[in-house]
Chain A
Amino acid sequence: MIYDVTIDGKNYRLELDRIDSHWQCRLDGREVQIDAILSRRNVLSVIIDGKSYEVKRERTSTDLHLWLGPVRYAAELRDPRSLRSRKGTGADEKGPRKLIAPMPGKVVRLLVAEKAQVEAGQGILVVEAMKMQNEIKSPRAGIVQKLVAAEGGAVNAGDVLAIVE
Chain B
Amino acid sequence: MRAGFRHVSMFKKILIANRGEIAVRIIRACREMGILSVAVFSDVDRTSLHVRKADEAYHIGPAAAAESYLNFGKILGAARASGADAIHPGYGFLSENARFAAACAHTGIKFIGPTAASMEMMGSKTRARRHMEKAGIPFVPGTSRGLESVQEAEAVAARIGYPVMLKAAAGGGGKGMRLVDTREQLKSALEGAQGEAQRSFGDSEVYIEKAIVNPRHIEMQILADEHGNCVYLGERECSIQRRHQKVLEESPSPLVDPDMRRRMGEIALRVVRAANYTNAGTIEFLADQERNFYFLEMNTRLQVEHPVTELVTGLDLVHLQIRIAAGEKLPFTQEDIHMRGHAIECRIYAEDPDNNYFPSPGRITLLLAPSGPGIRRDSGMYEGWYVPIDYDPLLAKLVGYGSNREQAISRLMRALNEYFVGGIKTNISLFRRILSDPGFRSGRLDTGYLDRLLKTPPPEIKREDAWVAAIAAGLFTILEPDATGAGNGAGNGANAVSEWKKLGRSESLRRG
Contacts and interface: CB of A to CB of B under 8 A. Distances in A.
Interface string B441-474: 0000000000000000000011101111111111
Interface SS of B by simple majority: mixed
Contacts of B378: none
B475 A44 contact: yes
Contact of B392 (A25, A70, A131): A131
A contact residues, range: 35 or more
Contacts of A59: 365, 483, 485-486
A97 B503 CA distance: 41
Contacts of A48: 468, 471
B466 A73 contact: yes
Contacts of B461: 70-71
A14 B389 contact: no
Contact of B466 (A10, A23, A25, A156): A10
Interface in A1-22: 1, 3, 5, 7-8, 10, 12, 14, 16, 18
B204 to A, nearest CB: 16
A46 B420 CA distance: 18
Given A5-B474, A18-B478, A58-B422, A41 B466 contact: no
B470 A46 contact: no
Interface string B182-216: 00000000000000100010000000000000000
A27 B473 CA distance: 12
Between B355, B393, B422, B479, the greatest number of chain A beta carbons within 10 A of the residue's beta carbon is seen for: B422
Interface size range of chain B in the complex = 35 or more
Contacts of A5: 470, 473-474
Given A67-B420, A130-B389, A16 B475 contact: yes
A41 B506 contact: yes
Interface stretch (A81-89, A100-108, A112-120): A100-108
Contact of B488 (A16, A27, A60, A130): A60
Given A70-B432, A131-B175, A103 B359 contact: yes
A71 B463 contact: yes
A70 B361 contact: no
6 tightest CB-CB pairs across the interface, nearest first? A59-B485, A130-B359, A73-B469, A55-B472, A12-B470, A16-B474
Interface of A: 1, 3, 5, 7-8, 10, 12, 14, 16, 18, 23, 25, 27, 32, 34, 36-38, 40-44, 46, 48, 53, 55-61, 64, 66-71, 73, 75, 77, 102-105, 129-134, 156-157
15 contacts: A5-B474, A10-B466, A25-B471, A27-B467, A55-B476, A56-B366, A59-B485, A60-B423, A61-B486, A66-B472, A71-B465, A104-B361, A104-B389, A129-B359, A157-B362
